[in-house]
Amino acid sequence: MIPQAVSIDYSYLERGEKLKPKKAPPPELRHPGDLLSVIIFRITGQYAANCGVCGQRKAKMNRWGWIGCWKNRKEIIGWLILEAAKRGHQITEVSMFELLKVAFFEIQDQVKKEFRDTVKEKLTGK
């Protein structure tokens, strides 16, 4: 395979502008691992992508899909209890399940609000 030449645009320097980093795309929330990753990020400030084990678990959940995650919920809750214990938190299986339900509905409400706001903005231009 022949390497392709890469062209980098430095014209912004000539115009005296600073390079602005692109915003990260909004997370995909169609898959259960992605949703759990967002919930964990909002609680801890840590991305699953920055943690090898977390990233593997996220990918596994996405492969399982929603129904597969429901069938494997005890395993997922076990992961969360283990990670919480590593951080000094004592959480039971029941309380973890309740926390996940609350977080899921909170995220769902936020996504709905963001969608409504986006639609309103597109329709009204405000």
pLDDT by residue (tens digit) across 89-119?
Answer: 888 888 877 877 777 777 677 777 887 888 8
CA nearest neighbour of 73 among 43, 98, 50, 46: 98
Q: How far apart are CA 74 and CA 7, in angstroms?
A: 50
pLDDT digits (tens, 9 = 90+) for 52-92: 788 899 999 999 998 898 899 889 989 988 888 888 888 88
- pLDDT for 12: 55
**Region 7-14 average pLDDT:** 57
Task: Give the ranges where the chain is alpha helix by DSSP (H).
Answer: 11-14, 32-44, 52-71, 73-86, 93-124
Work out the pLDDT band at 18, boundaries 50, 70, 90: low
Residues 6+ apart with CB under 8 A from 48: 33, 36, 37, 40, 41, 54, 55, 57, 58
**Region 30-36 average pLDDT:** 84
Residues 6+ apart with CB under 8 A from 25: none
Q: How far apart are CA 61 and CA 82, in angstroms?
A: 17
- pLDDT for 26: 55
The two structure tokens encoding residue 51: 């943690």
- pLDDT for 44: 76
